[in-house]
Structure 1
Amino acid sequence: MRNLRPLCLLFAASFFAVYSRADEQPAAQLVAQTERTFSARCAEIGIRDSFLEYFTDDAIRFGPEPRLARPDLQQETSSNKVRLTWQPKIVRVASTGDLAVSTGPYVLQTETNKSSGYYLSIWKRQDDGAWKVAADIGVSGPSTTGLADDFQSYPDPPDQGAAADLLAYEREQFSPDLDLDHIYRSIASPETVFERDNQPPQSGQPEYAVFLYGQRTKRTKLSQAGGSTSGNLGFTYGAQSDDTSNVGYLRVWVLRNSRWSLMFDVLSR
């Protein structure tokens, strides 16, 4: 896959159809608009100050391992010389209406350089109704333009998941004794989106087959740091390592037929 348009169409047509198709709801539109406002604010006052405005007190960032974002941000100097902008292209809101995931392309512009990639953010609705970022990760990659928006909220599912169960499920699946292609065959599908540095997002049957082929004989050691669920949506994060590298991960899961299925899998070096 070379752009996100097939990705959006694929999400709408297959992955979420399992739930009798998620309907477009104001909550998803609100998260998308909050994301756009956040991006505009970042361009106006800079990364540090805008992130402090929009991140929860316990928000997680990656570098590459997960850690609390606010202590790092508070040590930085306020500046708008580095311009970071982004666009939400896919938003999903949990059936409970208080947890969401947003992803899309970003552009980072300095005085001498311009880079691009894709971000994935976890949003939580606060007690006052405002949405704030609970976890944020990004990977570098080729820029993409002209993408269709795909903002949806899930209807109430017949069952809901618990964070402890999701974390236990992830630990069970990511056995250090199993090759990664075997693990991903068990938890993922062709509709899962895999985001890696210096690559476009991978999703769809041909890309899924190529991805699995590349995971043969690879093994990893998982070090969970946390996670949360709400209704039929959940996320997990931590670090994983092999003999040569250590990366941070953020995964988004959706509950279907009483089983957690991997929606997004993002690794950041």
Structure 2
Amino acid sequence: MKKTLTLGLLTILAVVGPAHAQQAREAIIAAEKTFAAQAAREGSAAAFLANSTAVSMVVENGQLANAQKVWQSKPPATGTHRLAWHPVMADVAQSGELGYTTGPWTLGSGTQTAAAGEYVTLWHKQPDGQWKFVVDMGVEHSDDAIATPGTVARPQLFAGPATPVPVPAHAIIDLDHTFSKAELHKPLETYQAYLSKEARLLRPGQLALLGPTAQVVISNTLSRAYLFAPTGGYLAASGDLGYVYGTLRRPSTDPRQPEETGSYLRIWRREAVAGWRIVLEVLNESTPAAPAVAVTPVAPASTPAAPATATTPATPPTTDGAAPVRQ
């Protein structure tokens, strides 16, 4: 009986899943564009408050913070600078309730650009059917040559089949914990083992590192390990897409390389051939003067197996004269 039910669920997911996921993907792209349009029209504070939930997270000077508390605490907009952005990549879980968009952002007035960078927004479908962001994080870089909006790409590697039964919510945090534990001892080897061939890495001061470029940069620059402490995460009901966010610290014994602190966001995708892989990672660092914010790490419930194989930037200018950019 259980076998029959499982086969039935698999059949339903195989037929309905792709169409449902495509509709959800179009919905989050539309939600992101509406979000950006509202920011241009009404200001960043209004847009971020309207598109977040009571538990949504943003990063301010490298520190994780509640999105609504951050934006409610800002004084009324007085500046002329406006924050603009658009998606260049979007993906959703096969269950259709979780997805992400990523792309470039700029802060400026008219033709003058004051700051630029890359962002990622995690979207979660709410009980009333609306899409709200649950995590918004990004980095700043010096290049303001931002491409104009166009076609929004999607991953080319196939996702693994949707899980027909619910999986433990803590499984994605367990997976991230396993990665973090291994990375602490062998940073380069661990990243090489877990990065998707289509991985996107967002790092302070750099344009988005994509695919093979990400692999090369990791191989040439990763000489010191990070201490990652997860503080939250979510795994889609289909068991093929999830995310974890938390705090980071990179100790140093060399005075020429000061200790780094900040926050991270990591998006995991279960690929059909390679298994669980990191498809997007954002490392957002605090400036030296940033006050420490205590966040209690989430304790992993268990240690999962390794993924299957087949196989300090300056604080950017403020948006609308009131709040930090998408970092």
Q: TM-score range with shorter-chain normalisation?
A: 0.7 to 0.9
Query: 1:30 aligned to 27, 33, 41, which one?
Result: 27
Q: Are 2:71 and 1:73 aligned?
A: yes
Partner of 1:12: none
Counterpart of 2:32, as a letter, is E
Q: Which secondary structure state, in structure 2, belongs to the residue aligned with residue 198 of structure 1?
A: coil
The answer for the alignment partner of 1:135 in structure 2 is 135
Q: Which SS does the other structure have where 1:192 is aligned?
A: strand
Deviations 1:81-140 (A, max 9, x none): 330111011111111111010001111115985211111000011111110110000111
Structure 1 gap ranges (5+): 1-18
Greater shift in the superposed pair: 54-63 or 78-87: 78-87
User: Shift in Å at residue 212 of structure 1?
Assistant: 2.2
Identify the residue that residue 184 of structure 1 maps to in structure 2.
191
Partner of 2:250: 242
The aligned length equals 248
RMSD: 2.6
What residue number does 2:220 align with? 213
Question: Are 1:104 and 2:103 matched, yes or no?
Answer: yes
Q: In the alignment, which residue of structure 2 is the partner of 1:233?
A: 241
Work out whether residues 122 and 136 of structure 2, in 8 Å CA contact, stay in contact via their aligned partners in 1: yes
Q: Distance in 2 between matches of 1:68 and 1:207?
A: 30
- In structure 1, distance between residues paired with 2:228 and 2:281: 14
The farther-off stretch of 182-191 and 54-63 is 182-191
Could you tell me which amino acid in structure 2 is paired with residue 121 of structure 1? T
Q: 4+ residue stretches of structure 1 with deviation over 6 A?
A: 152-156
Partner of 2:209: 202
Equivalent residue in structure 2 for 1:54, among 26, 51, 62: 51
Contact 1:48 1:77 in 2 (8 A): no
The aligned counterpart of 1:263 is: 279
Quick check: 1:228–1:236 contact (8 Å CA) kept in 2?
yes
Identify if the C-alpha distance between structure 1 residues 228 and 52 changes in structure 2 by more than 3 Å, giving closer, same or farther. Answer: same
> Take 2:168 and 2:212, find their aligned partners in 1: how far apart are those partners?
30
Corresponding residue to 1:164 among 167, 170, 177: 170
Structure 1 residue 229: Cα displacement: 1.0
Tell me which amino acid in the other structure corresponds to 1:55: S
- 1:66-95: CA deviations, max 9, x gaps? 221111111112326330111011111111
1:161 Cα deviation after fit: 5.0
Post-superposition shift, 1:144?
2.6
Q: State the Cα distance separating 1:259 from its structure 2 match.
A: 3.7
Identify if the C-alpha distance between structure 1 residues 107 and 168 changes in structure 2 by more than 3 Å, giving closer, same or farther.
same
After TM superposition, the score normalised by the length of structure 1 is: 0.83
Q: Is the 8 A contact 1:163 1:234 kept in 2?
A: no
Structure 2 stretches lacking a partner, 5+ long: 1-13, 252-258, 286-327
The 8 Å contact of residues 32 and 151 in structure 1, kept in 2 or not, is answered as no
Looking at structure 1, the residues matched to 184 and 124 of structure 2 have their Cα atoms a distance apart, in angstroms, of 35
Of the three residues 41, 44, 63, the one matched with 1:44 is 41
TM-score relative to the length of structure 2: 0.69
User: C-alpha displacement at 1:210, in angstroms?
Assistant: 2.8
Q: How far off is 1:155 after superposition?
A: 7.8
Distance 1:26 1:152 in 2: 16
Identity of counterpart residues, as a percentage? 23
Partners of 1:27 and 1:93 within 8 A in 2: yes
Match of 2:101, SS state, is: strand
**Which is worse superposed, 65-74 or 47-56?**
65-74
The answer on 1:224 being equivalent to 2:224 is no
Deviation of 1:148 after TM superposition, in Å, equals 3.4
